[in-house]
Structure 1
Amino acid sequence: MADREFSDYVQRVQECVAKLRDTLPFLPRTVIQLGTGLGDFVSRIDTRLVLPYADIPHFPVSTVESHQGNLILGYLEGEPVAALQGRFHFYEGYSTREITFPVRVLSLLGARLLLVTNAAGGLNPLIAPGSIMVIRDHLNFLGENPLRGPNIDEWGPRFPDLSTPYHPALIKTALDAARSCGLVKVISGTYVCIPGPSLETPAETRWLRDVGADAVGMSTVPEVIVARHAGMEVLGFSVVSNVNDPDNFQPILLEDIIRTAAKVTPQLQQLIVEIIAHRQSFTAQIFQKS
């Protein structure tokens, strides 16, 4: 990245941080990134402010119809949260720096926890469609990393450790919460991010299975990398819309993915609310850093 391009990016981040610091009624400690078909989650938030992305300085604008494009400020079980209702994707033409712009800005405003969600296709034949997968690890097959280029040491280390990209204690909390809520289709696994927008071929599906992925999508990983670089803790969820057998492949339709994600949204809402409600067991150390 050219020095001028990077300095322009830094300036945009700083201007956005300053504007939101003056605009927001409070600074969120937790960020919830809502994925495809999951935008209705905001109905559970005690909303205090809705900011369209188009009204936030330098925010990208989502071009995908199922992503509403709002920053929601409010309270969830008493926790001050910011919900990103809609995200940006590599296949829309955005760079990974642009994709992760909101997470970078909110981290600089003091957010210490990222709950990230997506709708994904299943690769592991043992996963039932409609399951919620708690993400244990990921594979980045985008071919681009949002940290490429100059590093700002005040934002994070040059070589951030990703040995535990998703917080182990948060993963355990999520699985325990699922059991206490009686949610039976909650599992854990590895998520792989591909560029898109074309969906996987049978051969690609077989290969992604072979390299260890349990679910595939076109998002999430860039945001997680930046969150970890910024010192945020991360918990991730994939709503598995379908599971395809590469030897008996069925067409994959975006409408079906959105429909399944919307159907599972109430269960994901219940799970996240349960996690937030018992946040004291895992957030004390996280928020001491803020």
Structure 2
Amino acid sequence: MATVTQSVSPRQDSGPSAGRKFLHGLGWFLAHTGSIIALAIAWEWLARSGLVTPFQLPTLSSVLERIWTNAMTGDLFINTAVTLYRAIAGFLIAAVVGVLLGMAMSRIAFVRWFFDPIVSVGFPMPKVAFLPVIILWLGVYDASKITMIVVDAAFPVITATIVGLRGVDQYLLWSARNMGASNRELLWQIALPAALPQIMTGLQVALPIALILAVFTEMVMGGYGLGGAMMQASRFADSRGVFAGILEIAVVGYVLVKAMAILRRRLLIWHQEAMAPSTV
């Protein structure tokens, strides 16, 4: 008598696994956004509680409605694009100037002798003190705004480049030189890659400075841009417009910082810090 055997495959139960993934994702979301959500709830509650007037603190929902209106009319995208243009243009110029000058100061004694006092005095001082002079020379156009950004954002890049190149392991340089490496090869293949983490730190400091100066110069000089739109709203006592500008600038700043952090991890994929989880 033949017996029929039937193989029964184990039932795939994706319920608990899917549930765990959902809870894990929810926990990650709350861990990264919990404080923002709490602040938003507190803002909405305080604005509706009657403790402050709508002029002093409009509700978050009305501010988000204003941002949506600005997006529908196109003003949000125009002002954001103008501010980003000024901030990124100034940042890129500051990055190039800062890295090149930092390299020269770390390798050429005369350049270091000439620029070291200037960098030492200029780095800690508030560079916005030069804004009236820049306005006198260049007017209130994009050239003056970008120049102000370059003046302020270049210093962190200069100092980071100097520190990074000075911190390169001398035994590594000696070993490469003994193996026949030229000065150019030492710089581009050993010194700069070894100093890249420090240089990227300087760039990460300079990028928010560039955005801050872009918004500040727009507030002072007027014109298109997120800072100019905020000042325009302030002149007309439009508190919703002012707070909308604050949120818009916060989002733009977060996106820029996050993009720079991603770029850092891509460029330093070979570095040990790429193995650590990002905190940005």
Please classify the TM superposition score into its range, dividing by the shorter chain length.
under 0.3
- Greater helix share, structure number: 2
Larger radius of gyration: 2
Normalising by structure 1, what TM-score?
0.20
TM-score by length of 2: 0.21
Between the two structures, name the one with larger relative contact order (CA 8 Å, sep ≥ 6): 1
